[in-house]
């Protein structure tokens, strides 16, 4: 039985679909299982529901983890970012070991030098270290920026034909979360990819001005990328975007890293899933209505 922590999340939900298409039974976990059941119910024709067990689990409640992990052999772990992330993921790893899970696939983030100013990346490195020390076989997936993040720019594109950032014209690796899920599905079902670290990207890098050009062509109206100073970007994210300061910091820090360290694609996705990663053009085309 494969346990999915983060089954309502962007990657976890796509993984659940892929594994059930492979005919693999999964236990999908959420703090709000009834919402997950309702969501799965809407996919009744698409998914073989007999392969999916839904259970309640809160990573801040060890007893809920013991029940949810019982009988599991492998565990997928994608936890939303929060200042409690190290504590929560460390508890998941500890209870997984106690319950006899023998392989954990963890969603991490690109590894930077420990002195790099990306706090969330340092959290992930600390959790990777906990996994290493646990002695459980583990596979680390380190994806770059999700294409799905671009959907957060849709509101200002719709309202004002522009979007904002602070990464100038730096080239950025984007990956579709569904490709991350496809990689995770391979890692969980084929031994050859387990026990390794895989850095995941799409097949091309794009700058924000290039994304604006793509949107301009797709929407048939001019879309502009407005570059802000990191300080202004951070203030706007907090004051206009209502982001908590730690998350605003994260967005600005990650964009500063794209400027400081030129990004380039890796071949990991194609090697593991046997096809090219989804392209940004295909993603924007598929989601064009969000930006109209």
Ligand X SMILES: NC(=O)c1ccc[n+]([C@@H]2O[C@H](COP(=O)([O-])OP(=O)(O)OC[C@H]3O[C@@H](n4cnc5c(N)ncnc54)[C@H](OP(=O)(O)O)[C@@H]3O)[C@@H](O)[C@H]2O)c1
Return the number of the residue (35 or 271) whose C-beta is nearest ligand X.
35
Which residue, 192 or 242, has its beta carbon nearer to ligand X?
242
Q: 161 or 210: whose CB is closer to ligand X?
A: 210
Sheet holding 137-143, edge to edge: 52-56, 26-30, 2-5, 74-77, 103-107, 137-143, 197-200
Q: Which is nearer to ligand X, 85 or 161 (CB)?
A: 85
How near is the Cβ of 109 to ligand X at its closest, in Å?
A: 4
Residue 143: CB minimum distance to ligand X, A: 5
Between residues 78 and 93, which has the closer beta carbon with respect to ligand X?
78
For 148-206, list the strands marked E by DSSP. Answer: 162-165, 172-175, 197-200, 205-206
Residue 35 Cβ vs ligand X, minimum distance, rounded to whole Å: 7
β-bridge pairing 172-175 and 205-206: antiparallel
What is the chain's length?
292
Q: For residue 8, what are the CA distances in angstroms to 33, 34, 54, 144?
A: 9, 11, 11, 20
Least Cβ distance, residue 220 to ligand X (angstroms) = 28
Q: Which of 172, 178, 175 is nearest to 210 (CA)?
A: 172
**Closest CB to ligand X: residue number:** 9
CA distance linking residue 72 with residue 95, whole number of Å:
12
> Hunting for tokens 């005919």 — which residue is that?
23
Nearer to ligand X (CB atom), residue 117 or residue 216: 117
Q: Which residues contact residue 81 at a Cβ distance below 8 angstroms, ignoring those fewer than 6 apart?
A: 120, 123, 247, 250
The CB-of-57 to ligand X minimum distance in angstroms stands at 6
Name the minimum Å distance from CB 53 to ligand X: 15
Contact 210, 227 (CB under 8 A): no
For the CB of residue 189, give the shortest distance to ligand X in the complex, in Å. Answer: 19
The footprint of ligand X (CB under 6 A) covers: 5-12, 30-32, 57-60, 78-81, 88, 107, 109, 120, 143, 145-146, 149
Instruction: Kindly tell me which of 7 and 268 has the beta carbon lying closer to ligand X.
Output: 7
Task: Please say which residue, 174 or 225, places its beta carbon nearer to ligand X.
Answer: 174
For 59, which DSSP code?
Answer: T
Cross-strand partners of 139: 105
Q: How far is the CB of 242 from ligand X (least distance, A)?
A: 17
Q: Which of 100, 76, 105, 60 is CA-nearest to residue 7?
A: 76
Beta strands in 15-108 (DSSP E): 26-30, 52-56, 74-77, 103-107
Instruction: Please state, in angstroms and rounded to a whole number, the distance separating the CA atoms of residues 109 and 155.
Output: 26
């Amino acid at each position: 039985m494969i346990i999915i922590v983060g089954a309502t999340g962007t990657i976890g939900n796509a993984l659940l679909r892929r594994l059930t298409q492979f005919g693999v039974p999964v236990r999908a976990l959420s703090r709000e299982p009834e919402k997950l059941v309702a969501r799965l119910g809407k996919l009744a024709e698409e998914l073989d529901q007999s392969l999916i067990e839904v259970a309640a689990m809160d990573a801040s409640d060890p007893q809920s983890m013991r029940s949810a992990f019982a009988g599991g052999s492998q565990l997928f772990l994608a936890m939303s970012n929060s200042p409690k992330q190290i504590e929560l993921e460390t508890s998941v790893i500890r209870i997984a070991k106690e319950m006899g899970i023998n392989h954990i696939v963890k969603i991490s983030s690109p590894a930077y030098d420990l002195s790099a100013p990306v706090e969330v990346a340092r959290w992930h490195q600390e959790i990777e270290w906990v996994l290493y020390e646990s002695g459980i076989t583990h596979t680390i997936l380190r994806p770059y920026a999700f294409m799905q993040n671009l959907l957060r720019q849709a509101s200002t594109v719709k309202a004002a034909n522009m979007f904002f950032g602070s990464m100038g014209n730096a080239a950025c690796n984007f990956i579709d979360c569904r490709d991350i899920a496809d990689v995770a599905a391979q890692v969980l079902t084929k031994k050859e990819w387990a026990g390794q670290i895989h850095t995941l990207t799409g097949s091309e890098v794009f700058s924000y001005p290039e994304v604006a050009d793509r949107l301009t062509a797709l929407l048939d109206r001019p879309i502009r990328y407005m570059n802000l100073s990191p300080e202004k970007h951070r203030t706007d994210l907090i004051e206009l975007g209502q982001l908590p300061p730690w998350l605003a910091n994260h967005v600005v820090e990650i964009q500063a890293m794209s400027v400081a360290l030129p990004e380039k694609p890796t071949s990991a996705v194609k090697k593991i899933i046997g096809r090219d990663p989804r392209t940004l053009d295909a993603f924007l085309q598929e989601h064009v209505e969000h930006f109209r």
